Amino acid sequence: MPKMALEQNQNMATPWLQSIWPFVLTAAVIGSTLFTAFLITLPTQYRTNKEHGEEASIQVIVLGDIGRSPRMQYHALSIANAGGRVEIIGYQESDVHPEIKSNKSITIVPLSPAPASLRTGNRILFLLFGPLKVLLQVRTLYHTLGYRTKPAKWMLVQNPPSIPTLVVALLICSFRNTRLAIDWHNFGYSILALRLGPSHPLVQLSKWYELCFAKFATAHFTVTNAMGRVLKDSSGIDPLTLHDRPPNYFQPLSADQRRDFLKRLRDITQFPDVMIDGIHSGRCMLLVSSTSWTADEDFQLLLDALVEYSTHAVENRGHLPYIIAIITGKGPQKEYYLAKIDSLVEQGKLGAVTIHTAWLASQDYASLLGAADLGVSLHKSSSGVDLPMKVVDMFGVGLPVVGWSKFEAWPELVKEGINGRGFESADDLCDLLLGLFSSPTEDLTRLKTGALKEGQRRWDDEWKPVAGKLFGLE
């Protein structure tokens, strides 16, 4: 009986197997074909030239506007000037540094930007459009890194943004036999927390993603020692600290150079001659701030301080100089604050202050800093462990700085009372302006001396023993 039952089961199974066998065979053929096609179409690999040794070829990745990523441009120039071949990959939304364009060892590979319709400041729309934007970025990045560029020995990725850059970069590096280095400017999850809040599930997921995938990179750079400590404590990553330093084109201006630039500035900003004459005589103080017009920088704080300063200056007419404030930069909140400035002017609350905005070429921006009397940094640091590059640029021209100082990494750059001053509120900033501008020849001169000293160490001085050594370009 058991034998007969077994034969019956086999007879029943045979027709069933026969019916599905063509489908199994077809699926196997299709799967094998797709897998073969996948292997054939994999990106080409980096291989060492045995006759001429390893070529110092490096891809510099910016999932953002190349022109507004100065540190990555400095990386590219340092690599090229040391004899390496560079492909700098990112969006081209503004002009890059002229030396990037003219250097034959640097190739710009533009990324196609996501549709403007997917960019929004609305929190709900951001949650809806964000995933679609990321998918488009994945496709663009994968195709560009894998098929539009040559295989390189190293890939240097700016972080943030980490989504989707890190996972795509790791995948391409594994295919192309490329070593991955991450240049940490900040933490992506801390910036996302400004929009969604630190306890939001997406922020926690972003933090896990960022720190988890980063562990697979070959090397890491951080902009501060404090950031390196956080990375080591939180994920075991042991990075190299590569502080920001000014490039060589940020230089102090002579009296004649300052005079010539102020004449050009009059044409750019439509300043009346009386203001230019006032700057020369000291009756007007030229204040400069560069901002990204985002939540990471509280521009309202500067406005409140300037309104308070103006009130003091009007009440004590003749004892405090007029302030000409020039604000540079682009960003999502710019139009909002321009409307606020117009409203304050109409209300007569800026009687001793004029505010202008400008977007300048890199060399003109360097000259503006060199011509100014005081720089202001509003950078609040979403993580507490990054530093504003604008302060480094200011030190490069010998410009003293006042800046928001309520975060851990601030003392790594600014020495209180030596090359700058810190503030933690609009009242603090107003008090600094009143103190520094009421006796500008004494306090400002001391801070300017400290800024000049701090700016003596340049980008290449910092880059060569750290990044240059890692890349074999000492």
DSSP string of 334-396? Answer: HHHHHHHHHHHHHTTTTTTEEEEEE---HHHHHHHHHH-SEEEE-B--SSSS---HHHHHHHH
User: Phi and psi for 87 in degrees, rounded to 5?
Assistant: -115, 120
Three-point CA angle 89, 381, 197, nearest 5°:
95
CA 5, CA 199: separation in Å to the nearest integer? 63
Taking CA atoms, 347 is separated from 70, 344, 350, in Å, by: 38, 5, 8
The two three-digit tokens of residue 115, written as one number: 């549709």
| 114 close to 137: Cβ distance less than 8 angstroms | yes
What is the predicted pLDDT for the residue at 227? 96
Q: How far apart are CA 113 and CA 358, in angstroms?
A: 24
What pLDDT does residue 369 have?
Answer: 95
| Alpha-carbon span 350 to 327, nearest angstrom | 15
Q: At what angle do helices 201-214 and 188-196 cross, to 10 degrees?
A: 180
CA nearest to 262, candidates 373, 355, 350: 373
Helix (H, G, I), strand (E, B) or coil at 401: strand
For tokens 């933690």, name the residue: 424
Closest C-alpha among 383, 360, 412 to residue 403: 412
Instruction: Give the pLDDT of residue 51.
Output: 45
Relative to beta strand 106-110, strand 85-91 is parallel
What global pTM score does this model have? 0.85
The amino acid occupying position 375 is G
- Do the Cβ atoms of 150 and 87 come closer than 8 Å? yes
Q: How far apart are CA 118 and CA 468, in angstroms?
A: 39
373 contacts 287 by C-beta, under 8 angstroms: yes
Question: What span, in angstroms and rounded, lies between the C-alpha atoms of 310 and 316?
Answer: 10
Gap between the terminal Cα atoms of the chain: 85
Measuring CA to CA, which residue among 465, 462, 290 is closest to residue 376?
290
Question: What's residue 362's pLDDT?
Answer: 82
Residue 19's pLDDT is 67
Residues 6+ apart with CB under 8 A from 11: none
Read off the amino acid at residue 321.
Answer: P
Contact 447, 420 (CB under 8 A): yes
List per-residue pLDDT tens for the chain, 474 residues long.
455 544 555 454 566 556 676 666 666 666 665 555 555 555 676 677 654 456 689 999 999 999 989 999 999 999 999 999 999 999 998 889 889 999 999 999 999 887 776 666 666 666 676 778 888 889 999 999 999 999 999 999 999 999 999 999 999 999 999 999 999 999 999 999 988 889 999 999 999 999 999 999 999 999 999 999 999 999 999 999 999 999 998 999 998 898 888 888 777 776 766 777 778 777 889 999 988 887 778 899 999 999 999 999 998 877 899 999 999 988 888 888 999 999 999 999 999 999 998 888 888 899 999 999 999 999 988 899 999 999 999 999 999 999 999 999 999 999 999 999 999 999 999 999 999 998 767 889 999 999 999 999 999 999 999 999 999 987
Distance between CA 270 and CA 290 in Å, rounded?
Answer: 19
Distance CA 272, CA 282 (A): 16
Closest by Cα among 371, 364, 374, 361 to 257: 371
At residue 207, the pLDDT reads 94
Distances (CA, A) of 317 to 85, 347, 428, 433: 59, 19, 22, 16
Beta bridge partners of 117: none
Cα distances from 458 to residues 241, 249, 432, in angstroms, run 15, 10, 28
H or E stretch covering 284? strand 284-290
Side-chain-side CA neighbours of residue 94 (13 Å):
16
